[in-house]
Chains A and B, each alone.
Chain A
Amino acid sequence: MNEILLSSEVIVYLLSEAVLYLLLFIAAIATLGILKGWNFDRFTKRQFDLENRSYLVMSIIFFVLGLKMLLLPYFAYTIDALSLLVPGAMCAAGVIDANDYGSPLLLLKIIILFLSGLWLGINRLDLEEKHYPYMKLKSWFYLLLFVLLSVEMVLDILYFSHIETTNPVSCCSVIFGEIGGNSLPFGLDIPKLLILFYLLYALLVLMLFTGHYLVRIAASLFFAMIAYYSVVYFFGTYIYELPTHRCPFCMLQAEYHYVGYLLWGVLFSGTFLAIESAVMEGIFGRDALKLKKISIGLLTLFVLLCSSYVGLYYLKNGVLL
């Protein structure tokens, strides 16, 4: 049997995912029934049952999505723990690249978390009204999510059962470093990247106060991307205090006080709330002041956290890397 599948973290992870998927499956079947027979204006027993059933769907999704938020960092922790078993891997970066399923799986997980956050937002709106106006929308939305979640489940199993423990994988310094011939996209260099990083942050904060919702969404996505590159290629080197160490995963380890979980978590939730506020205001015409406030707070925290590593390094050593 594959040694990877005997690691206790992998067993716990796959078991949790499987149990949650079972619940999601029940919810998907209930949703199909709701979509087929839903008519709020009717006073039949069937409609009454469907309304009750929608509560089941809602509580399942609420519960599962809440746990998925915990499972994403746990997934990162699991593959980090596996780096001991996979030859050549020194952190999660090597393990994620151990087969072709890893990177799509991680991307899919993040997309699912984004979409399910939006689902929860729509659900909240739906419950505030008396006659469930968004029931059809959120049901179709959930079915789309369910398709993605099914793909995720399949990828989970494929990924963990196909990690080879005999073939060496690349270490993060090869994947992200100069040896691998990797460079920044769009022909950027480090100074331009940093200018773009701070400008986009300013743009995003400005956009949060204007009504250009599409620009706000575009700015958030672009900021998330540039922030990712800035952390990997610039701020990360200050976290590791080593100019050649470029890796988005090593900062999840204990040597760096697990700061990666905080950093990526803050970036992720800040960007998500900015997008959610745009959707709430643009599509549903709701007031999203609270979301915007939290979003600005989180994004600012992210920028300050990144910059403080550089600042502290300069204060301590008197030079920049």
Chain B
Amino acid sequence: MLSRSPFLYFLTLLLFKQKSKHLGIMSISVVMIALVSAVLFISSSLQKTLQDTLDEQADFTVTRIEAGRPVSTPLAWVDKIIEIEGVSEVAPRIHGRYFYAPGEESFLVVGIDFFDEQGSKALQSLLKGIDLKQFFAEESMIVGEGVKDFLQKHYYKDTFSFKTPRGEFKKVKIDEVLPGSLNLLANDMIIMPIGLAREIFGLKEDEVTDITFNVPNDAEWDNVIGKLHLVDYEIRVVEKREVEKAYENLYNYKGGIFLILYIIALLTLMLILYQRYAMVYSHERKEIGILRAVGWSIRDILKLKFYETLILVISSFVIGTVAAYGYVFVLGAPVLIEIFLGGANLENQVQLIPEVSFGTLGSLFLLYAVPFFAAVLIPSWRVAVIPPKEAMR
């Protein structure tokens, strides 16, 4: 089919004949596009994972604050919140960071009532698989993968001893490990019965750190917030929507800073392309002169150059994005992922879920193709309008 169109035939012939001329530009472009694709792929994959995790979280979390300082929340609020219409799955929680001094690391300890219905769907499904009889036979906990690895390294094989504020040691059995798919949020998490957590953090019997609950009808959310503020004037309500926005901003921030710096690299690429093609095309003067002499018009030459560039752009775009896909989702994006997870407390192994949307690909194509074409446009015009007589001299 290709040979039926003489123009396309000539074009492909030309491209293959002059491979070496385009090879340098191709390889730089592929590296550039692969780098930026990898960053955008990682950021959209992490955002997707977070979104999925957040979807499973409870809609509301309330805590008590005294003039802006967070203090422990009275357990009595649970009964008051249950009475609000439209509220379900009210569950008190105790959580806090437990600092492990010898390793200079901290764990997020979450204490929940295993017999309550949990607001978080992730916890709900997690608790279903646990043999409660065995779990409560002795004091046990469920740990995240990061915690598990850390404890193994520090020779805590089956149990770990917490230091309580009273100066006692509390030995707790490691019962189960959280699934790796939750690693982004639960890597350094420890889940245990609420009574045990209360002891470890030294809270009183009628105190918790916060209360979570769901409001299934989201049209009622604003109403419920209004009613919560009537429960107590020291109440602070955190909505899931706010948390979502905060995370979205965080990853936008990291990706955005990278992109702004990347623009400088892109402008350099434009300059290189401009220079390179100005040089390449000036060597082609004679060739273009011959084409013009055999009857090609300026428009035909421009068309030829346009298609030549188009093929270069598309092929380097495809190679670059496929390479980035492999690097991110097959190899797990070594090195680059540290930009996004950096500052992690315990070493985190996050499984990147393949997530490539048309929007991301469209962004990448625009980001790359617009500067590329813009840089090549003027050199190709310059060579196209040289009069054939002058060119062949």
Contact = CB atoms under 8 A, between A and B. Distances in A.
B interface bracket (residues with beta carbon within 8 Å of A): 20 to 34
Interface stretch (A5-13, A141-149, A216-224, A227-235): A5-13
Given A3-B252, A6-B253, A12 B363 contact: yes
Interface stretch (A69-77, A177-185, A186-194, A203-211): A69-77
A32 interface: no
Interface stretch (A53-61, A266-274, A297-305, A312-320): A53-61
B256 interface: yes
14 contacts: A5-B256, A9-B359, A9-B363, A11-B256, A11-B260, A22-B374, A55-B299, A55-B381, A55-B385, A56-B381, A63-B374, A67-B370, A70-B366, A87-B245
Contacts of A74: 362-363, 366
B40 interface: yes
Contacts of B263: 11, 15
Contacts, number: 86
B355 to A, nearest CB: 13
Contact of A6 (B257, B266, B377): B257
B252 A8 contact: yes
A201 B180 CA distance: 58
Interface of B: 40, 43, 244-245, 248-249, 252-253, 255-257, 259-260, 263, 266, 298-299, 302, 306, 359, 362-363, 366-367, 370-371, 373-374, 377-378, 381, 384-385
A79 B366 CA distance: 16
Contacts of A26: 378
Nearest to A56: B381
Nearest to A77: B359
A84 B252 CA distance: 11
Given A6-B257, A8-B256, A19 B248 contact: no
Given A19-B371, A52-B298, A81-B359, 20 more contacts: A3-B249, A6-B253, A7-B256, A8-B40, A8-B256, A11-B256, A12-B367, A15-B371, A16-B366, A16-B367, A19-B370, A19-B374, A20-B374, A52-B385, A70-B366, A74-B362, A77-B359, A84-B244, A84-B245, A127-B299
Contacts of A6: 252-253, 255-257, 260
A196 interface: no
A63 B359 contact: no
A107 to B, nearest CB: 23
Interface string A72-107: 001001000100110100000000000000000000
Q: For chain B, what secondary structure do more than half of its interface residues adopt (helix, strand, loop), or is it mixed?
A: helix
Q: Most A CB atoms within 10 A — which of B43, B256, B384?
A: B256
Contact of B259 (A3, A8, A77, A81): A8
B259 to A, nearest CB: 5
A23 interface: yes
A223 B43 CA distance: 43
A195 to B, nearest CB: 35
Interface string A234-272: 000000000000000000000000000000000000000
A55 B377 contact: no
Residue among A8, A71, A74 facing the most chain B CB atoms (10 A cut-off) = A8
Contacts of B385: 52, 55-56
Contact of A55 (B43, B248, B362, B384): B384
Contact of B381 (A12, A59, A127): A59
A85 B359 contact: no
A63 B373 contact: yes
Which of B257, B299, B373 has the most chain A CB atoms inside 10 A of its CB?
A: B373
Contacts of B367: 12, 15-16
B195 to A, nearest CB: 39
B252 A7 contact: yes
B327 to A, nearest CB: 18
Contact of B363 (A8, A67, A84, A87): A8
Contacts of A81: 359
B255 A8 contact: yes
